């Protein structure tokens, strides 16, 4: 006969190869704290509903608390033959308290148990990740406030487009991270539903009090359909999608840091504490943090593909395939958290080469749009103004000049309606400060963005 806790109808022991293939304790042991938290709430409810004696519940709770304390002290050895964290906990509990341990699993299944554990785990981790996003945002706000007057080139297609201030550029990343935070919070709302009490798939015949368990575990509501509660992991997929989007944003930001740190750009100097050297080239100082964050984004995108593909062909309700949900969940949590932490350190210690940025901002005819806008204000149709300035840029390219090198006569050759003061409007300072509309790059607009961001971070 099988020695498994579920082995009553089996006449043979599980093959060792099968046992090794089907175990999950090697990775789901990190759910132990949440498993015990859920089990304690379940045990209290069973006693309150007179389903098991209060004395058994008391023994169960003391035993579970002891297991948790020993686990946190590193004194628990798990048994792979017990398959998963749930069976390991129950087996250890039985060894410690005897018969009462066998009553803990009354009115529940591993199916609703694991769905509860994962939701409890993700509720905790999402709150931590949201806090880490806010810390990175705080770093960006601090840097942005220092650089409201630092002018740099803005890019489209990675070509010089228009001058912007560095503070404005950094606040763009703040805005993206704020949406990432919002997605995490929104995901948390749909995750905040208690599955425990759904049983294996059909509910339970025992007169349980799900609201009591919901209240103790601090869920907002209980699941409305037992099959849905145990058979879907859309909440996990939604979290991983949110984490993947966050990592894509960090990856894009990392790409800029890598470019800006290069000799060709020389826009930023990264601190020695967040860079590494070469094993052969003694002069090298490599932006490894940015490169690794960029690389690790692929892991989380892969986690998303894994969790979606895992579920795409599953009939209701629970299937053992869902054991494979935990590793992508854990990886997405760990990768996002670690990336946020190191990114905050990298950006807090970054030093910007403001002089180099300013020089670069004036190159490649970056104020051409300002000239076109000026001509429109002088009564020229925009398409005509666009054509005139385009011809002027062609002239500059041929002559090896920038727009700020031109005199009024040269400008009027191609744009005859230009006013006498047009040259003063073509500086990078004038270009930046002209964009005062809400969300623009003028200092007043950027300070408004920073002020609003500080209010967001306080709340």
Q: Which residues are catalytic?
A: 157, 278
Distance of CA 323 to the CA centre of its chain: 23
Q: Token pair for residue 17? A: 């190869």
CA distance 141 to 174: 8
CA neighbours closer than 13 Å in the CB half-sphere of residue 19: 12
CA distance 441 to 446: 6
Element (H, E) at 162: strand 159-165
Q: 154 Cβ partners below 8 Å, 6+ apart? A: 160, 161, 162, 163, 164, 169, 366, 441
Is 84 within 8 Å of 23 (Cβ atoms)? Answer: yes
DSSP readout, 276-341? B--SS-TT--B-HHHHHHHHHHHHHHHHHHHHHHHHTTPPSS--GGGGGGHHHHHHHHHHHHHHHH
Q: Token pair for residue 100? A: 């009462």
CA distance 302 to 248: 12
User: Which of 51, 31, 63, 149 minimizes the C-alpha distance to 105?
Assistant: 51
Question: Quick one: residue 343, left, alpha or beta (phi over 0 = left, psi -120 to 50 = alpha)?
Answer: alpha
Neighbour count for residue 275 (Cβ, 10 Å): 18
CA distance 85 to 130: 27
CA distance 152 to 148: 11
User: Which of 140, 166, 142 minimizes the C-alpha distance to 152?
Assistant: 166
Is 173 within 8 Å of 253 (Cβ atoms)? Answer: yes
């Amino acid at each position: 006969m099988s020695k498994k806790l579920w082995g009553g109808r089996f006449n043979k022991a599980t093959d060792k190869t099968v046992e090794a293939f089907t175990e999950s304790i090697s990775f789901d042991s990190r759910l132990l704290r949440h498993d015990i938290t859920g089990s304690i709430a379940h045990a209290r409810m069973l006693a309150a509903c007179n389903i098991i004696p209060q004395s058994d519940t008391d023994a169960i709770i003391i035993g579970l608390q002891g297991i948790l304390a020993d686990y946190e002290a590193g004194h628990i050895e798990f048994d792979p033959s017990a398959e998963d964290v749930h069976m390991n906990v129950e087996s250890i509990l039985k060894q410690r308290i005897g018969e009462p341990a066998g009553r803990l699993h009354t009115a529940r299944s591993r199916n609703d148990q694991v769905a509860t554990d994962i939701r409890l785990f993700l509720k905790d981790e999402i709150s931590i990740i949201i806090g880490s996003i806010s810390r990175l945002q705080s770093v960006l706000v601090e840097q942005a406030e220092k650089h409201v007057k630092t002018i740099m080139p803005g890019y489209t297609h990675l070509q010089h487009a228009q001058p912007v201030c560095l503070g404005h550029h950094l606040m763009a990343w703040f805005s993206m991270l704020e949406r990432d935070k919002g997605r995490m919070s929104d995901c948390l709302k749909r995750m905040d539903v208690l599955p425990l009490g759904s049983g294996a798939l059909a509910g339970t015949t025992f007169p349980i009090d799900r609201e009591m368990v919901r209240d103790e575990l601090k869920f907002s509501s209980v699941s409305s359909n037992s099959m849905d509660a145990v058979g879907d992991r859309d909440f996990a997929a939604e979290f991983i999608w949110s984490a993947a989007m966050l990592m894509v944003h960090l990856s894009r930001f990392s790409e800029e840091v890598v470019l800006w740190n290069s000799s060709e750009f020389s826009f930023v100097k990264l601190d020695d504490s967040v860079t590494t050297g070469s094993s052969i080239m003694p002069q090298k100082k490599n932006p490894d943090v940015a490169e690794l964050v960029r690389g690790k984004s692929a892991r989380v995108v892969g986690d998303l593909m894994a969790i979606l593909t895992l579920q795409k062909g599953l009939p209701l309700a629970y299937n053992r395939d869902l054991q494979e949900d935990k590793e992508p969940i854990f990886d997405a949590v760990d990768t996002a958290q670690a990336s946020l932490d190191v990114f905050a350190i990298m950006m807090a210690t970054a030093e910007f080469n403001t002089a180099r940025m300013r020089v670069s901002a004036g190159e490649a005819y970056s104020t051409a749009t300002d000239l076109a806008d000026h001509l429109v204000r002088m009564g020229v149709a925009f398409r005509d103004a666009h054509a005139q300035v385009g011809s002027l840029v062609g002239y500059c390219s041929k002559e090896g000049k920038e727009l700020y090198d031109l005199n009024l006569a040269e400008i009027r050759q191609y744009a005859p309606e230009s006013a006498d003061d047009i040259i003063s409007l073509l500086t990078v300072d004038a270009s930046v400060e002209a964009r005062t509309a809400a969300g623009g790059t003028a200092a007043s607009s950027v300070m408004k963005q920073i002020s609003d961001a500080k209010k967001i971070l306080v709340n």
